[in-house]
Chain A
């Protein structure tokens, strides 16, 4: 979908609906309020553990899996990749604030120069191409490992995604992500919210559905279903496929905008990635 179409859709949406006009912080507070009401016994930070926050049986299995975390190898490999200098002698550390250590809480952010949302995974590849290295595939593999290492160094840091309300570009990107989140798509006619707001905590076939709150805290994730560590955009694509929609490319504008909205919803929660999931 083109950027122009996304922008037009967002502008029309803002003009035509009071609910759609709510600002980012109003949206986040409404999200927090819903889940605090629905799960009054779940401490706020626990939402970063997905369905394990409110499914005791699944939590016990997960805790056992965490005794030997399946993502540990990815962290070790990611550290090696991260510290390996490029052919020109530079390294990832030269591309990021604080040498790339403990910075995940600042992603994604809106970049005024490009007029687009920059995710951590995009920034990793931007670092590579700026240093004459080939971009890596976004869904899994080496890039996911580097992302896992960078997440690991950011554990405990509080998500602090900024959507300046006086920045038209940032607001348009946020609103586009919000529209994507609430829009039904695919033959099964599901929106992200259908599962992760409306039905969070309920069962869909054999699975209980996780809450939107905390969705962005723990990526990349080792999913048993994948047998590998993968990025948030790999999961976005999988969700699309599950509702029989054609998935977008990882790091497409629509997925980056969705990540912008989704991560803002988890502002204030501590990062706890990488993580494992079924």
Chain B
């Protein structure tokens, strides 16, 4: 995460996903959508960061869009906390929350976007 601005990005990536019409037959260049937002301040404690992450992850999961990256980050946060590394634990848990918030954005976008990909004759 950067100091004042952090970059939220969906990786519309690995070639195939740049174009979104079903009948495209060739991979296209990566299109990375970068959303710039004001950075939220770090959570004040690991417990707060963890609770916020879990809440955001539940919203993503309820929408059917949970990302495994949040799960992994939260595990790493727990490990850091167990080792007494509070600042790393907070950062990792905050990152887990951010990833979950991105997953919810994906869910929002996909509510309509999937229909444009349905094959038609």
Contacts and interface: CB of A to CB of B under 8 A. Distances in A.
Interface of A: 1-2, 5-6, 9, 12-13, 16-17, 19-20, 22, 26-27, 29-31, 33-34, 38, 178-179, 182-191, 193-195, 197-199, 202, 204, 240-241, 244-247, 254
A199 B13 CA distance: 13
Interface in B46-69: 61-69
Given A33-B121, A194-B17, A246-B68, A187 B114 contact: no
A193 B120 CA distance: 13
Contacts of B62: 1-2, 5
Given A13-B115, A189-B12, A246-B66, 7 more contacts: A19-B115, A31-B119, A34-B22, A184-B110, A198-B16, A202-B16, A244-B67
Contacts of B64: 1, 5-6, 185, 254
B69 A187 contact: yes
A257 B11 CA distance: 27
A199 B11 contact: no
Contacts of A26: 120-121
A19 B67 contact: no
B16 A194 contact: yes
Nearest to B64: A1
A177 to B, nearest CB: 12
Contact of B117 (A16, A29, A31, A193): A193
A6 B29 CA distance: 33
Given A241-B68, A246-B61, A29 B13 contact: no
Interface residues of B, number: 43
A16 to B, nearest CB: 7
B13 A184 contact: no
Interface in B90-105: 99, 102-103
B14 A188 contact: yes
Nearest to A265: B119
B68 A244 contact: yes
| Most A C-beta atoms less than 10 A away, residue of B102, B113, B121 | B121
A197 B22 contact: yes
Given A26-B121, A29-B121, A193 B22 contact: yes
Given A27-B118, A254-B64, A189 B71 contact: no
17 contacts: A1-B61, A5-B64, A19-B118, A27-B118, A182-B115, A182-B117, A184-B113, A188-B14, A189-B12, A191-B114, A198-B22, A199-B15, A202-B16, A204-B14, A204-B16, A246-B66, A246-B68
A108 to B, nearest CB: 20
B119 A197 contact: yes
A22 B118 contact: yes
Nearest to A200: B25
A19 B120 contact: yes
